[in-house]
Amino acid sequence: MSLSDLLGQDRPVAVLRRLLATRKVPPGLLFHGPEGVGKRTAAYAFAKALNCLSGKPDACPDPVPGSPAPCASCAAADRRMDPDLELVDGAYQGALREEDAAKQKTLRIDTVRHVVRKLETRSLEGRWKAAVLDDAHRLTEDGANAMLKALEEPPARTVWVLVTHRPSELLATVRSRCQPLSFAALPQEAVASILERRGLPAVDAARVLGECSGSVSRALALAADPGADPAAWPGDPLAPFTLAESLPRELHLARPRAEALLERAAGWLRRERGTAGFASAPVRFVLRDLKGLRGALRRNADPRLVVELAVLRLQELAAVERSPA
Ligand SMILES: [Zn+2]
């Protein structure tokens, strides 16, 4: 993936191209914005572009039949074999610690120290060294502190790209040493094109586009839940429990799924509001409750409990609104 392959993020991409063209790259960048809008992809494409041999302010584009193959540097990065480019996430830490990737809830100091050492080793022929830190809000405090020195006295031609949808949870000292770059929710056409690229059937894409709030990951989570149709919930007394039970066991998978369910419920309510379905005022109350539940989810409430409460709330509303007067 190159920056030019990235859809719907023209503004941050323009900033990154300028950094690449001038080679005035700050030692720390902070990519922030909603989940599932391309921050991590952009970070990796940018890091790749720093060492691309094409001479352009971008990485080599995704190969299509008939086009030239990517340069040796980009090809190595695409295979995750570039010794100068670290993609630091749960899988990376899991491999270091010889543990399950799903178990890596935080980014630990040992991992940060490992990356710092990697960035300090001299690279060949003036190549850049880059570390992309995904979900940087999961850095522990001592992990973040271990990174501070690297940000303050960076070896030449090194860059840390921190990626997060929760920038406020990063240590202020780390935040203040990084140049921020914001990514917005994607326009619907961009989400549609990306879903098509990923091979999602058009009928599924059409079903979730309006409810995904410009996030590809949320669209995919919604599409994976064909049974989650809020219109069916009021008539199914067991829905709160079956839906809660259907969430994955792993917290980091359960949370986006729960968030997608809340989003879907809210979307359905908004469509029903004012129609023959429900009156406006009570719907507004329930929408406010759903918003509160989404906040609770972000503050680490149990996704199962959140889903259960949300569906119960929808059922109460339907019971009142649809009972014969
Ligand atoms: Zn290249």
Q: Residue 281 has which token pair?
A: 């005022």
Residue ranges for the chain with pLDDT beneath 50:
none
As a whole number of angstroms, the distance between CA 160 and CA 112 comes to 11
Ligand 1 ion: residues within 5 Å (CB): 52, 54, 60, 71, 74
Cα of 73 from ligand 1 centre, angstroms? 6
CA 75 to centroid of ligand 1, rounded, Å: 7
Identify the pLDDT of residue 259: 87
| Total-model pTM | 0.78
**Pairing between β-strand 158-164 and β-strand 28-32 as defined by DSSP bridges:** parallel
Distance from the alpha carbon of residue 43 to the mean position of ligand 1, in angstroms: 15
CA of 104 to the centre of ligand 1 (A): 32
d(CA 279, CA 251) in angstroms, rounded, equals: 36
Q: Which residue has the tokens 């929760």?
A: 166
Q: Residue 134: which H helix or E strand, with range?
A: none
The whole-angstrom separation of Cα 169 and Cα 54 is 38
- The 10s digit of each residue's pLDDT in 78-102 is 999 999 999 999 999 999 999 988 8
pLDDT value of residue 276: 62
CA of 74 to the centre of ligand 1 (A): 4
- Expressed in angstroms and rounded, the spacing between residue 188 Cα and the centre of ligand 1 is 30
pLDDT given at position 112: 97
Surface-to-core class of residue 287, CB atoms within 10 Å of its CB (0-12 exposed, 13-18 middle, 19+ buried) = middle
- What's the 24 CA to ligand 1 centre distance in angstroms? 19
Structural contact between residues 27 and 159, judged by C-beta atoms closer than 8 angstroms: yes
Which whole-number Å values give the CA distances from 289 to 75, 249, 299, 322, in the listed order? 49, 25, 15, 20
The CATH code belonging to domain 3-182 is: 3.40.50.300
Instruction: State the distance from the centre of ligand 1 to the C-alpha of 4, rounded, in angstroms.
Output: 12
Q: Ligand 1 centroid to 214 CA: how many Å?
A: 29
Residues 177, 151 contacting (CB under 8 angstroms) = yes
Identify the H or E element spanning 88: strand 85-88
Q: State the alpha helices, DSSP H only, in 210-279.
A: 216-223, 239-245, 251-272
Tell me if 32 sits within 8 A of 182, measured CB to CB: yes
Is residue 146 exposed (0-12), middle (13-18) or buried (19+ Cβ within 10 Å)?
A: buried
Q: What pLDDT is stored for residue 226 in this prediction? A: 59
CB atoms within 10 A of CB 280: 8
Is residue 161 within 8 Å of residue 12, measured between CB atoms? Answer: no
Contacts of residue 297, Cβ cutoff 8 Å, sequence gap at least 6: 255, 258, 259, 262, 303, 306
* Torsion sign, CA atoms 172, 174, 178, 181: negative
- Calculate how far, in angstroms, residue 129's C-alpha sits from the geometric centre of ligand 1: 15
**CA–centroid distance, residue 9 to ligand 1 (Å):** 21
Torsion-angle region of 30 (φ positive above 0: left; ψ -120 to 50: alpha; else: beta)? beta
Ligand 1 centroid distance, CA of 60 (Å): 4
Q: What residues are paired with 131 via a beta bridge?
A: 86, 160
Query: Residue 148 and residue 171: Cα distance in Å, rounded?
Result: 10
First to last CA, the chain: 59
Domain boundaries, the chain: 3-182, 225-322
If you measure from the C-alpha of residue 207 to the centroid of ligand 1, how many angstroms do you get, rounded to a whole number? 37
The per-residue pLDDT for 324 is 59
